Amino acid sequence: MEGRIDPRVIQAMSRVPRECFVPEELRAVAYEDRPLPIGCGQTISAPHMVAIMCEILDLREGMTVLEVGTGQGYHAAVMAELVGPSGHVYTIERIPELAEQARKNLQKVGAANITVVLGDGSRGLAEHAPYDRISVAASAPEIPPPLKEQLKPGGKLVIPVGSALQELMLVVRVNGYHEERRMGVIFVPLLGEHGFKARD
């Protein structure tokens, strides 16, 4: 795996202590390459998945990024390392407890270029659009139109799509939108206006 991942991504991940983004009782297994429960029925993605998504997005210094589905903030922290202090990551989470915990975790590790927003990220985050890159950490029934519209020209969006069978999709905004399937994945559902219908 490591040989196929951009060394910049590996380096960014090595700078973010994953143990600070999992519940205390799971600290001992924080560096295993597996997803872990983070409360509220949600999960932190496996490190290899974070690496693959960062690699696909080709994050560069100075970029403005939107993440949909903050969880406890790990993936956002890795992307913030990759865009550096001249870039910014806006990350949106719909569950208040997780957004709050993510803010605490990010403060603890000293990540300054990240803003955690509470809300329905299936609509994107129009206030800070357009984005160079958008990373979605929950699976959508189809690619939400607002996310495509909030990409800059040349911008890239990575998003899992589907329910029982999910595909990780890359969308590139060039002469319209170019969509391509990258791999089969398993994510929690994206809920909300352009996601699946929430039961709560």
Opening angle at CA 67, ends 152 and 182, nearest 5: 80
Distance CA 49, CA 2 (A): 12
- 56 contacts ligand SAH (rule: CB under 6 A): no
Shortest Å distance, C-beta 62 to ligand SAH: 22
Output the 3-class SS for 10-53: HHHHHCCCHHHHCCHHHHHHCCCCCCEEEECCEEECCHHHHHHH
Cβ atoms of 41 and 47 closer than 8 Å: no
Instruction: For ligand SAH, give the closer residue by CB, 63 or 92.
Output: 92
Opening angle at CA 90, ends 89 and 94, nearest 5: 140
Among 16, 18, 42, 66, binds ligand SAH (CB under 6 A): 42
Active-site position among 14, 45, 122, 163: 45
Instruction: For ligand SAH, give the closer residue by CB, 18 or 154.
Output: 18
Among 121, 155, 160, 162, binds ligand SAH (CB under 6 A): 121
Mark 159-188 with x for binding to ligand SAH (rule: CB under 6 A) and - for no binding: -----------------------------x
Which residues are marked as active site? 45
